[in-house]
């Protein structure tokens, strides 16, 4: 029997028979979902262009009896799929966008399918499909048990642009959820308790005066000079911001030819911070640096906020609940062939000590021996409890906006070899073969069985909601996108 992880509640809630039934269904139907993941891996559609990937999931969910709502938040590649009726409403959060430039074959060496092509270097082919699998499995279980409740899967575009779910959140798509579950491919199996930072996506476009750079440079006012001075100013600003703030940029327009003083130049910034107050302050200070650069060069600057997402707040109660499920399901069993593949991939990445994977976690004494054994392997199959409760990671995801609307637990599962960095060819290779498949189906089992607990025992949702309300007291969700930003302003025309 499962037991509630809270010290306040230890009642038995669902039987091993229920857990085994859900796991068995997913194992028997794994081929449908590994096939779906592989198709989406082959499509490798980047942000806002995930038309075939979304259509594939819509078709499958419709065939499984889900009702479909397309064009959510006026985005063609955003949809929701719903099964059942009444309360509680549990959401599974999916994604399916790829990354540019990460085309890769399923081999343990860098070898592109198409040079310069896109690839699933963040494993979103697995992420979305694992959510679909869990949603269908729990829908079947609701039918078998006669329990009431609504299952909802969200097909969310453009996570790599950190905008899809933000637009959906602004449209109210997640407002009626009682809880949400999602997972992300990683190098270990662990529910998350830590935070991820919020982000603003902002462009600074400078306009100057063109002139002949050789014959009459004194008559020109260089927009590129303004961009470069702004970047220097921001680099000095780095000393004077809180520790977890990140400011990174790329110059998207620096002029056309050297012998014309650039009339136009643009720099694109991502600004990240642990909460909205700090993020707004940093945005304001960076804006002042841009204005100063414009003054120094006698140019004009236009600041355009292109998007943003909120910081991620994981629900600790749900994380503990998921770990109870993980202990019952057991570890992922990787074969000798998969371990050999993983070992070869690992050799392509900078060498690092094995304990680097866990040194920034709060490791319970009871877990130290298991971790010491695990870090000798080229890929981690064991399940670990959440050990990141005090961490503020400096990555970002638009899942953060969902987490500030309803209790949410993000789960990490081992879809990559231990030495692999996300957003790299090694992640793409692993996401398209059996290592990624196993991590995905492991996540689907954990999420589906956790959902069964939530449908079976209202006390779990009550406890998760109590934690959520305590953490968000006096801080209602406010979308980071200004109302004037519309999806049609961002989504590329097809």
Pairwise CA distance, residues 22 & 138, whole Å: 7
DSSP code of residue 332: -
DSSP bridge pairs for 179: 90
**11-15, 27-31, 357-361, 380-384: lowest mean pLDDT where?**
11-15
The CATH architecture that domain 198-309 belongs to is 2-Layer Sandwich (3.30)
Answer whether 407's CB lies under 8 Å from 320's CB.
no
Averaged pLDDT for residues 351-362: 68
Q: What is the percentage of the chain residues whose pLDDT exceeds 70?
A: 95
In this predicted structure, the answer to whether residue 427 has a pLDDT above a threshold of 80 is yes
User: What is the model's pLDDT at position 373?
Assistant: 84
Strands in 300-309's sheet, in edge-to-edge order, are 246-253, 264-273, 198-207, 300-309
The string of DSSP letters for 162-229 reads T-HHHHHHHTTTTTT-SEEEEEEEESSBEE--SEE-EEEEEEEEEE-B--BTTT-GGG-B-HHHHHHH
Segment 414-429 mean pLDDT: 95
Please give the average per-residue pLDDT across 287-305, as a whole number.
Answer: 97
Least confident of 84-88, 284-288, 353-357, 399-403: 353-357
Indicate the domain borders of the chain: 16-195+311-472, 198-309
pLDDT tens by residue, 195-208: 999 999 999 999 99
Local confidence band at 17 (pLDDT 50, 70, 90 cut-offs): confident
According to the model, what pLDDT value does residue 357 have? 66
pLDDT at residue 97 greater than cutoff 90:
yes
Split at pLDDT 50, 70, 90, the class of 6 is very low
172 pLDDT tier (thresholds 50, 70, 90) = very high
Q: How many other CB atoms are there within 10 angstroms of residue 149's CB atom?
A: 20
Residue 488: predicted pLDDT: 85
Parallel/antiparallel/unpaired status of strands 179-186 and 89-95: parallel
* pLDDT given at position 4: 47
Which CATH code, of 3.40.630.10, 2.60.120.10, 3.40.630.30, 3.40.50.1980, is assigned to 16-195+311-472? Answer: 3.40.630.10
For the chain, percent of residues with pLDDT exceeding 90: 85
Query: How far is the C-alpha of 469 from the C-alpha of 179, rounded, in Å?
Result: 13
Nearest to 36 by CA among 150, 155, 151, 140: 155
| Distances, alpha carbon 469 to alpha carbons 92, 148, 316, 342, in Å | 21, 25, 13, 42
């Amino acid at each position: 029997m499962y037991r509630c992880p809270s010290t306040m509640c230890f009642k038995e809630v669902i039987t091993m028979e229920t857990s085994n039934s859900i796991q068995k269904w997913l194992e028997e139907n794994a081929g449908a979902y590994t096939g779906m993941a592989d198709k989406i891996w082959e499509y490798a559609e980047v942000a806002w262009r995930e038309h075939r990937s979304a259509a594939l999931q819509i078709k499958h969910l419709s065939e499984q009896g889900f009702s479909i709502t397309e064009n959510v938040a006026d985005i063609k590649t955003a949809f929701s799929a719903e099964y059942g009726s009444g309360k509680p409403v549990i959401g599974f959060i999916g994604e399916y966008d790829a990354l540019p430039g990460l085309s890769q074959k399923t081999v343990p060496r860098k070898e592109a399918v198409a040079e310069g092509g896109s690839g699933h270097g963040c494993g979103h082919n697995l992420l979305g499909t694992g959510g679909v699998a869990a949603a269908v499995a729990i829908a079947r279980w609701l039918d078998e048990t006669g329990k009431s409740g609504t299952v909802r899967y969200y097909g969310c575009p453009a996570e790599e642009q950190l905008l899809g779910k933000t637009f959906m959140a602004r449209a109210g798509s997640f407002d009626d959820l009682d809880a949400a579950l999602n997972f992300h491919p990683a190098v270990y199996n662990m529910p998350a308790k830590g935070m991820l930072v919020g982000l603003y996506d902002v462009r600074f476009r400078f306009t100057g005066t063109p002139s002949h750079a050789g014959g009459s440079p004194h008559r020109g006012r260089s927009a590129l000079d303004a961009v470069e001075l702004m970047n220097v100013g921001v680099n000095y600003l780095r000393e004077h911001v809180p520790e977890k703030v990140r400011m990174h940029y790329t110059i998207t327009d620096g002029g056309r030819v050297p012998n014309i003083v650039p009339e136009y130049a643009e720099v694109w910034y991502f600004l990240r911070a642990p909460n909205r107050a700090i993020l707004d302050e940093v945005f304001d200070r960076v804006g002042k640096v841009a204005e100063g650069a414009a003054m120094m060069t006698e140019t004009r600057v236009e600041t355009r906020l292109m998007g943003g997402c909120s910081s991620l707040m994981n629900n600790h109660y749900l994380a503990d609940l998921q770990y109870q499920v993980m202990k019952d399901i057991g570890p992922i069993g990787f074969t000798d062939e998969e371990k050999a593949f993983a070992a070869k991939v690992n050799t392509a990445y900078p060498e690092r000590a094995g304990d680097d994977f866990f040194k920034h976690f709060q490791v319970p004494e009871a877990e130290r021996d298991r971790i010491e054994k695990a870090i000798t392997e080229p890929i981690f199959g064991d399940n670990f409890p959440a050990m990141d409760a005090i961490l503020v990671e400096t990555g970002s995801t638009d899942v953060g906006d969902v987490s500030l609307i309803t209790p949410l637990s993000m789960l990490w599962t081992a879809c990559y070899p231990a030495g692999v960095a996300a957003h790299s060819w090694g992640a793409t290779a692993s996401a398209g073969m059996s290592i990624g498949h196993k991590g995905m189906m492991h996540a689907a089992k954990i999420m589906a069985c956790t959902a069964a607990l939530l449908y079976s025992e209202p006390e779990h949702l009550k406890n998760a909601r109590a934690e959520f309300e305590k953490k968000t007291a006096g801080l209602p969700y406010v979308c980071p996108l200004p109302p004037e930003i519309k999806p049609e302003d961002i989504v590329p025309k097809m």
